[in-house]
Amino acid sequence: MRHRLRLLLLAALALGPVAASADPAPPTRALPESRGQVQLSFAPLVRRAAPSVVNVYGAHVEKRAGNRSAMDEFLRRFFGDAGPGGMGSGGRPQERAQRSLGSGVIVDESGLIVTNNHVIENMNEVRVALNDRREFEAQIVLRDPRTDLAVLRIKAPGGLVAMEFGDSEALQVGDFVIAIGNPFGVGQTVTQGIISALARTQVGSADYQFFIQTDAAINPGNSGGALVDLNGGLVGINTAIFSQSGGSHGIGFAIPASMVRAVVETAKGGGRVVRRPWLGARLQNVTPDIAESVGLDHPTGVLVAGMVAKSPAEEAGLKRGDVILTVDGQPVDDPEAFGYRFALKGITGQTKFTVLRGATRTTLPVRLAPAPETRPRDVLKVKTRSPFLGATAVNASPAVAEELQIDASGDVVVISEVDGGSLANRVGLQKGDVIVAVNGVPVSTTRDLDRATRTAVPAWEVTINRNGQQLTSVFGG
């Protein structure tokens, strides 16, 4: 009996490996073989990158005189108080200050720093604190609201460490990255994560939306800071978070380095405005129904819905109903992705579109050129007592329409800026509004608007066009 049991046991042992071979092999775990493997860390990368990341402090300080002016009285009549800026009891002067806090990245040893435009927007005093605690006043070299980027310059005696640009086009979902910035003003902070997604286009924090998404913790104050790859290269500028509490939920967004580099190069060349190519076409999303009708197996590309006469789009032979699939071989899934890819092409030479027309795919060369100024802007900053007080208006042209991302054709006047806290801001006027008429008189030039706002009237009737909708409002005089 004992001999029989031993034979059964030997048989079971012999069969064991055969049965086990049907299951996957367990994961291999190995002990570290050296002290160096135990000490693997991001610390060397952080030591190299951290000196290039700075803190950016902005302030807008405005002092008011002690005696109520006629303008203060005018604003009081509109709003029942002292108007924007206000006055304390007894007519004492008040100092109004708005402050912002963010981060920035040194991109040139001469003192060029890139940050987010929203960090220094409306600020008239900007200071930069380096990693070694030195502080400097900063000059605003360039603002580019369309990308939410700005370039600053500081004059430092030396010791600046510039961060080299990485290749944001080579990033893949799952790559490790680190984020460096100054969240909540606590001081320079490093967080680590991965690339969660690429080419995010529905974030809403800039005109050119093609963001890198990361789960590296990004919080208020990180804006303008660096997203760094494992080679120590700058692959993005952290700009926004998705949050319902104001803190990090692991969904942060960064502007790709390819766009950042284009803005920085403009600043290096002495430019004050980033010039981008103009297509002169209205584009829209390809819906599932449209995709099916043109023979695409899924919605992709952008549909050409219309064109401006004598534009590069018309010259290239684009037609209404065409679907643009790629820009120089790079696929585009929606108008935001197209805008990003096209904007990086510069304003000279040409690019190539892959276009689907009917059932045929073709390649069209497209001339690269900036949008034309078909008539002088004749910039008007309204300073007279009217609902437009604090607004800046310009004559529309393709260049203006491109910059403001509006549909504005013909001889019209558009609001290009509205000062925060101004009367124009308080009555609801917005950047991009097309001024149709004032008190029933059509407005086709800024001179028309200037004449209209210089006339004292008991009430103001203002008609504007906003996103294709005509609105008329009446304000007290």
Q: Going by C-beta distance under 8 Å and a sequence separation of 6 or more, which residues neighbour residue 116? A: 102, 148, 149, 150, 223, 224, 237, 239
Query: Is-contact 309 292, C-beta < 8 A?
Result: no
Structure tokens at 222: 């990180």
Query: Is-contact 51 234, C-beta < 8 A?
Result: no
Q: What does the alpha-carbon distance between residue 192 and residue 248 come to, in Å, rounded to a whole number?
A: 13
Structure tokens at 345: 């092409």
> Per the residue annotation, which of 52, 100, 103, 118 is the catalytic one?
118
Cα end-to-end span (Å), the chain: 114
> Per the residue annotation, which of 223, 258, 386, 397 is the catalytic one?
223
Q: Is 407 marked active-site?
A: no
CA 378 to each of CA 355, 373, 382, 436, 445: distance values in angstroms, whole numbers, following the listed order: 39, 11, 12, 17, 8
Structure tokens at 29: 């775990």
Query: Is-contact 322 361, C-beta < 8 A?
Result: no
Q: Is 118 marked active-site?
A: yes
User: What secondary structure letter does DSSP report for 185?
Assistant: G
Q: What does the alpha-carbon distance between residue 464 and residue 253 come to, in Å, rounded to a whole number?
A: 35
Q: What does the alpha-carbon distance between residue 415 and residue 431 come to, in Å, rounded to a whole number?
A: 5
Q: Is 175 marked active-site?
A: no
Specify whether the backbone of 374 is left (phi greater than 0), alpha (psi in -120 to 50) or beta: alpha
- The full 3-state SS of 114-170, as one line of letters, equals EEEHHHHCCCCEEEEECCCCCEEEEEEEEEECCCCEEEEEECCCCCCCCCCECCHHH
Angle at 146 between CA 51 and CA 337, to 5 degrees: 95
Helix (H, G, I), strand (E, B) or coil at 475: strand
Q: Hey, how many other C-beta atoms are within 10 angstroms of the C-beta on 413?
A: 27
Alpha-carbon radius of gyration of the chain: 29
User: What secondary structure letter does DSSP report for 25?
Assistant: P
Q: Hey, how many other C-beta atoms are within 10 angstroms of the C-beta on 410?
A: 7
Residue-level length of the chain = 477
406 closest CA partner among 73, 392, 414, 89: 414
> Per the residue annotation, which of 144, 148, 229, 322 is the catalytic one?
148
Catalytically annotated residues:
118, 148, 223
